[in-house]
Amino acid sequence: MNSLDENKRAALELVRGWKAAGATLELSVSGPSEPLIVKMPARVRFADNDDSLAFEWSTGTEDSLPKRSFEHSDGVTVISLEDVSFVISRDPVESLSISRGEYHCLLRVIRASAFGP
């Protein structure tokens, strides 16, 4: 097995562990024309195949008093794993960088599980 396969296996194991724990991640995507295309809290929706990863997100705004919603959106972001490279870091927080060419996705742990910090 070459190191690319080992990196992919380690990255998928990390993401699958986040899914099993119900971790909340900061999902950031950047590209050549925009320094930051998107940055939002997300959870792993699926990591069941070796071709792509999917993350579900929900964003919204609320007035402070009285607390009421002004805007809300839900969605899914899918990251293709074709010809990508992975970098895993655990300092200062657990994170995974996925890159292909000038496109980058950074996943950082905000909350390690659905039940605690």
Give the residue extent of every domain in the chain: 3-61+80-111
pLDDT in tens, 32-70: 887 777 888 999 998 888 899 999 998 877 777 777 778
Total-model pTM: 0.83
What pLDDT does residue 24 have? 94
Where does the pLDDT of residue 96 fall: very low under 50, low under 70, confident under 90, or very high at 90 and above? very high
CB 21 within 8 A of CB 111: no
Q: Report which of 1, 28, 3, 22 is spatially closest to residue 97, judged by C-alpha positions.
A: 28
What pLDDT does residue 106 have? 95
Residues with Cβ < 8 Å from 102, sequence gap 6 or more? Answer: 31, 32
pLDDT in tens, 17-34: 999 999 999 999 999 887
What pLDDT does residue 33 have? 83
